Amino acid sequence: MTFEFTTAGRILFGPGVVRQVPETLRTWGQRFLVVSGRSAERVRPLVLAIEEAGLAPRLFNVPGEPTVDDVELGRRLGREQMVEGVVAIGGGSAIDAGKAIAALIPNPGELCDYLEVIGQGRAFTKPPLPFAAIPTTAGTGAEATRNAVLSSTRHRLKVSLRGPSLLPRLAAIDPELSYGLPPGPTAATGLDALTQLIEAFLSCRANPMTDAVCREGMSRVARSLRRAYTTGMRLTSCGDTSLTDQEKGARGDMALAALCSGVALANAGLGAAHGLAGPIGGRLAAPHGAVCAALLPHVLEVNLHALGIRAPGSPFLDRFDEVARLLTGAASARAEDGLEWVRSTCRELRIPGLATYGVTSEHVGEIVADAARSSSMRGNPLPLTPDETAGILTRAL
């Protein structure tokens, strides 16, 4: 048995830990680029806390999923301001943008020199600036991954910067930051985390360390995703911002599950759901988490059927059964029970099909061809045929 296991340099987890971030930043330097999502208001308390610590933050907003152009703008601003570190607070988009900007500021050349697929995929020659990741959603686990996913509108693809140096120096996961998350983003990000946990557990690159964090993460999603979703619905409908202890516990479970998913995928890889999600997101304005949620039950169904036909003795079939036991809590559960749990959860959380985002049958051939080149496909339990991959897309419409 041979494997590698890496994660963020330092992880802070728990309610209120975001208040410890400014003191850490003081050991890194004076001037910081603070990368956020579209809402500057949500990050204002952190920016004020950084200023009160005697530091100089400069805010940079990324309005959606990060593009190559967004990152180029951020790198230019960071260099002009001579920043000594980067802090990203927001969902996976803000964190991936911050991660990429921190890596690119000290490194020479063009962004495309370092991008996979559409670029040269070169390794960074200089270490990134110190980087802190602070998630406000519970989904992508980007605070513990060593890649940054960017969209290239010119190529109509999502591609990655990748390398161990992209791991954040500090990951601060504060469940309080997700308390007010509406039901739609709660569902999409939570099912993205579950997809990552299941795909890493079923990956051909899984190892005992990733298995442990996947089991922990799946158990927490199983007991808390629905409660977190209904909490979001209640807050949206009545405007009451107070949470019960059980609702806070559910948000904490989901925050930890998302962290587990990032740790797992960084070390074990993913599978067909993420292999397909990249090309879909590159072509259409489709949110990554929602796309993964729409694909998940169909990816599991097709993989299970393919294993039964082509590899009936595969140990991955036992892993499907274990996923079912973790999700249902039933000791006698089998793979099909786990599939039904996923299907019913997607229905309850009102996950729409891919057609909602403009995916049609005419896109299937191109998406299948692009997915075949995705690094995520290499982690799938077995290679899928083009017809099987197309079948996943057709069912997910």
Q: Of 277, 305, 286, 310, which Cα lies nearest the Cα of 377?
A: 277
CA angle 70, 151, 365 (to 5 degrees): 165
State the CATH architecture for 183-396: Up-down Bundle (1.20)
Domain 11-178 has CATH 3.20.20.140: no
Segment 263-304, tens digit of pLDDT: 999 999 999 999 999 899 888 878 899 999 999 999 999 999
Residue 151 backbone dihedrals phi, psi, to 5 degrees: -95, 135
Segment 180-233, tens digit of pLDDT: 899 999 999 999 999 999 999 999 999 999 999 999 999 999 999 999 999 988
Averaged over 66-95, what is the pLDDT?
A: 95
- Strand 157-162 with 147-152, pairing: antiparallel
Please give the distance of CA 196 from its chain centroid, rounded to a whole number: 8
Averaged over 251-266, what is the pLDDT?
A: 98
Domain residue limits, the chain? 11-178, 183-396
- Whole-number Cα distances in Å, 268 to 71, 138, 188: 27, 20, 22
**CB of 368 closer than 8 Å to CB of 389:** yes
Q: Residue by residue, what is the 3-state secondary structure of 345-371?
A: HHHHCCCCCHHHHCCCHHHHHHHHHHH
The pLDDT assigned to 65 comes to 87
Share of the chain above pLDDT 90, in %: 82
CB neighbour class for 239 (10 Å; exposed up to 12, middle 13-18, buried from 19): exposed
| pLDDT tier at 110, thresholds 50, 70, 90 | confident
